[in-house]
């Protein structure tokens, strides 16, 4: 199953990013996780994002530069899993190309940074202990009427 996730990640990355984005692949067979670290030059520095997929159905994006991220969960439908990975890749691509804004969110003990970024008309909020995500439309539900 880990190999299947890695193939899915590679396929989505190949479709989403151009040659200006460096991709470094990692597979942890013991933990059943495949991940890719994506980085690109932007402005005065380099931006880095990691996307990971686990056989337990956890799909994660981490913006390494800001120590913020988000998790989506799906463990049932392969085509929907790929849609989730594609959505995460779009968030990563937007960040790597300079989109998004950092906001400060007040907590009980301290203020922490969150990244707000808009993809497909939906605002994502990525943080350390909180996030707001948008699941893509389930491709298997297209064409059905309720």
Query: Any residues with CB less than 8 A from the CB of 69 and at least 6 apart, and which?
Result: 60, 61, 62, 63, 126, 127, 128, 131
Instruction: Report pLDDT for 144.
Output: 38
Whole-structure pTM value: 0.88
Q: Determine which of 61-65, 103-107, 121-125 has the lowest per-residue pLDDT on average.
A: 103-107
Give pLDDT tens digits for 81-98: 999 999 999 999 999 999
Residue with tokens 């906001």: 103
Instruction: Report pLDDT for 118.
Output: 94
**Rounded to an integer, what distance in angstroms lies between the CA atom of residue 88 and that of residue 126?**
12
Segments forming the whole domain that contains residue 80: 2-99
Q: Is 113 contained in some domain?
A: no
Q: Is 81 contained in some domain?
A: yes
**Rounded to an integer, what distance in angstroms lies between the CA atom of residue 115 and that of residue 66?**
8
Q: Is 85 contained in some domain?
A: yes
Is 66's pLDDT higher than 80? yes
**Rounded to an integer, what distance in angstroms lies between the CA atom of residue 82 and that of residue 86?**
6
Average pLDDT across the chain, whole number: 88
**Rounded to an integer, what distance in angstroms lies between the CA atom of residue 45 and that of residue 94?**
16
């Amino acid at each position: 199953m880990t190999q299947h996730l890695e193939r899915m990640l590679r396929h989505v990355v190949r479709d989403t990013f151009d040659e200006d984005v460096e991709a470094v692949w990692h597979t942890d067979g013991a933990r059943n996780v495949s991940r890719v670290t994506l980085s690109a030059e932007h402005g005065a520095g380099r931006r880095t994002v990691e996307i990971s997929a686990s056989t337990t159905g956890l799909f994660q994006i981490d913006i390494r530069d800001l120590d913020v991220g988000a998790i989506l969960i799906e463990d049932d439908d392969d085509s929907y899993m790929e849609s989730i990975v594609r959505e995460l890749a779009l968030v990563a691509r937007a960040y790597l190309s300079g989109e998004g804004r950092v906001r400060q969110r007040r907590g009980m003990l301290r203020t922490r940074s969150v990244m707000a970024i808009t993809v497909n008309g939906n605002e994502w909020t990525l943080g350390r202990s909180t996030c707001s995500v948008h699941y893509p439309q389930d491709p298997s539900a297209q064409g059905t009427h309720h």
